[in-house]
Amino acid sequence: MRFLFIGDVVGEPGRKGLAATMPSLREKHVPDLVIVNGENSAGGIGINGKAAAEIFDAGADVITLGNHSYRHRDSYAFLESESRVVRPLNFPPGNPGHGWTIIDAAGMKVAVLSLSGGLELLVERNPFPAVDEALEEIGGNADAVIVDFHAELTSEKVAMGWHLDGRVAAVLGTHTHVPTADARVLPGGTAHMSDVGMTGSRDGVIGVKREQALERFRTQMPVRFDTATENIWVMGAAVDVRDNGLATSIDQVLEPAPTS
């Protein structure tokens, strides 16, 4: 089984770039499963039903989220009802949404988990014991497990890769929007990359207009951020998984979206 994992989609430009690039990505990687992080897909922060529908229409099978899961109040009922959209499982259990989903792909039952880092982000539970509990609960209901670790620090992301090595197919980092150069299959068979990057403008600053980001850094005053629209790239990873639920390879994905 091969899956394609796409990093944080930033606003409408990211959604359109994903849709425009997906046909060539499918031709190149031939994925059985497509997972997309939609954490910033609605207006550059959070998600709503419209943004999710566009991502699904572009070819996603599962959408993962992160610390902005609840930015839009009108999405709460949608998060509760749509099992293919997963928010971090270590949020308070009564919060809207689901921490994981199980989907069929290439004859396998594949569990997709969303997990938030515990350093510099707000969570209810430490992600390390939280993911252990989730894996125990999933048990034999899945043939393979894929983890989106939405975290701030590369140290925590690297540690999570080692923590889960040999127990899951992949631990792929999101949140910082900048791809790291450490993609590899760990000794136990878990594909790992500290951050797969974003689907958004490379001419901005992590997806927002660069002049606004520069003003914020120069003045240290509040500045309204708008989504950057130029030079959209799709970033992520393609991972091959054996029948035993462990990975054999991981390839970084860095593709410029076609321009009209």
Active site residues: 68
162 and 140 Cβ atoms separated by less than 8 Å? no
Locate 130 and state its tokens: 């939280």
Q: How far is 130 from 29, CA to CA, in rounded Å?
A: 32
Give CA–CA dist 191/246, Å, rounded: 8
Structure tokens at 252: 């970084």
Length of the chain: 260
Q: Inter-axis angle of helices 49-58 and 11-29, to 10 degrees? A: 20
Buried b (16+ CB within 10 A) or exposed e, 166-175: ebbbbbbbbb
Q: Provide the edge-to-edge strand list for the sheet that holds 100-105.
A: 100-105, 108-116, 144-150, 170-174, 191-193, 184-185
